[in-house]
């Protein structure tokens, strides 16, 4: 009996020591927040980790800027646009290949070679000039995703004046890059938002899905007005919204939006006000959201219904009344 008591006591002590060691070796993680201004917009990041990962987040931002910023004259994409000899890094290559994929899927509605037209209309990285139909027509031969390829590690253009604009995909990819860095450093729960593009994993500090808002398309060129149209609960994946209600200007009484149709060369004019896309990653969602704004409502719905890897939520103008419609798999609660 005495021997049994000793054995039992030894087991209890061992278990207590084990628990003490386990608790010490695996301290409870806490949720950190990081926010600020980057890539010409705001960002908000919340993540669960052992300690602050601010330095890693900032390093990710610098990497994206050094590869994909058209406003950074030392970036890889700027060198490509100038036809300088440059080593293509993995960030540029990932975006380029995803852009090729989305361009092919959308029959060119998404097209990074739209840069000369974006610049012409005053939404790019060059100063806006007087616009004429002749100027638009002169730039159309420079647009077309099939006119630029990567061969043996370098960019090959059919015309040296072809330029790339990554603004419709880079923010989404930046969310992915930051998320990958957080995950690499042990974060299993996080939300990364840059300029309205979002990628999430896991749950918030309350153990619930992350709640992400879709803005109502209220015209506001100052980006200070924000009304929520719909809230989506997510535990994984990327979400991006594209719309013409903020980035626009009015000239001679006519509104010009930042979404340029690569085929016509002109800003789009149709009833679709905003397109929100869900995908496995934010880069994909970002590119498809832009493509939808070019394609319009009906073609965008058809696109989502024919591709299992994306879902869409669309806000459109029906003779002055805002209406919404979404693909079957978009996570909207019934009755909402």
* DSSP result, 126-175: S------HHHHHHHGGG--GGGEEEETTEEEESSTT-----TTTHHHHHH
* Residue 243 CA from chain centroid, whole number: 13
pLDDT 10s digits, 76-105: 999 999 999 999 999 999 999 999 999 999
1 to 6, 10, 12, 73: CA distances (angstroms):
9, 14, 17, 82
φ/ψ (deg, to 5) at 141: -65, -15
Give the pLDDT score at 227: 82
> How far is the C-alpha of 189 from the C-alpha of 202, rounded, in Å?
4
- Strands 236-243 and 272-279, how do they pair? antiparallel
> How far is the C-alpha of 8 from the C-alpha of 18, rounded, in Å?
15
C-alpha triplet 69, 153, 184: angle, nearest 5°: 60
- H or E element in which residue 216 lies: none
| Paired tokens of 73 | 């004259």
Give the SS3 label for residue 302. helix
> How far is the C-alpha of 61 from the C-alpha of 169, rounded, in Å?
15
Give the pLDDT score at 225: 54
Contacts of 148 (CB under 8 A, 6+ apart): 113, 155, 156, 157, 158, 162, 164
Other beta carbons less than 10 A from residue 22's beta carbon: 9
Give the pLDDT score at 251: 55
CATH number of the domain at 27-336, out of 3.40.50.300, 3.10.520.10, 3.30.450.20, 3.40.718.10?
3.10.520.10
Count of alpha carbons within 13 angstroms of residue 335, beta-carbon side: 0
What is the mean pLDDT, run by run of 10 residues, along the chain of 336 residues?
A: 46 43 55 95 96 97 96 96 96 98 97 91 67 90 96 95 95 98 97 96 96 82 67 96 68 62 88 95 98 96 95 93 93 65
> How far is the C-alpha of 11 from the C-alpha of 236, rounded, in Å?
42
Give the pLDDT score at 309: 94
**Which residues lie across from 236 on neighbouring strands?**
201
> How far is the C-alpha of 163 from the C-alpha of 81, rounded, in Å?
5
> How far is the C-alpha of 8 from the C-alpha of 178, rounded, in Å?
50
């Amino acid at each position: 009996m005495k021997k049994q008591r000793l054995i039992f006591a030894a087991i209890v002590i061992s278990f207590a020591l084990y628990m003490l060691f386990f608790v010490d070796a695996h301290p409870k993680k806490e949720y950190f927040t990081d926010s600020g201004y980057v890539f010409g917009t705001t960002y908000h990041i919340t993540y669960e980790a052992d300690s602050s990962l601010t330095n890693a987040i900032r390093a990710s931002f610098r990497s994206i800027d050094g590869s994909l910023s058209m406003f950074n004259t030392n970036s890889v994409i700027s060198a490509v646009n100038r036809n300088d000899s440059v080593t293509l890094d993995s960030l540029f290559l990932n975006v380029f290949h995803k852009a090729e994929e989305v361009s092919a899927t959308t029959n060119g509605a998404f097209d990074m070679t739209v840069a000369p037209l974006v610049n012409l209309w005053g939404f790019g990285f060059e100063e806006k000039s007087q616009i004429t139909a002749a100027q638009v027509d002169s730039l159309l031969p420079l647009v077309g995703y099939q006119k630029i390829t990567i061969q043996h590690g370098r960019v090959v253009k059919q015309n040296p004046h072809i330029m790339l604009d990554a603004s419709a995909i880079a923010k989404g990819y930046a969310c992915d890059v930051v998320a990958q860095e957080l995950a690499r450093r042990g974060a299993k729960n996080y939300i990364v938002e840059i300029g309205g593009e979002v990628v999430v994993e896991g749950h918030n500090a309350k153990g619930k899905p992350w709640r992400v808002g879709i803005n109502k398309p209220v015209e506001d060129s100052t980006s200070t007005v924000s009304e929520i149209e719909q809230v989506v609960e997510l535990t994984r994946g990327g979400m991006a919204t594209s719309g013409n209600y903020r980035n626009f200007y009015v000239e001679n009484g006519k509104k010009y939006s930042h979404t340029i149709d690569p085929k016509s060369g002109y800003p789009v004019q149709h009833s679709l006000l905003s397109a929100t896309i869900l995908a496995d990653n934010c880069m994909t969602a970002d590119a498809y959201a832009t493509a939808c704004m070019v394609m319009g409502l009906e073609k965008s719905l058809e696109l989502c219904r024919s591709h299992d890897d994306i879902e869409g939520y669309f806000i459109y103008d029906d003779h002055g009344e805002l209406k919404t419609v979404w693909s079957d798999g978009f996570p909207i609660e019934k009755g909402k």
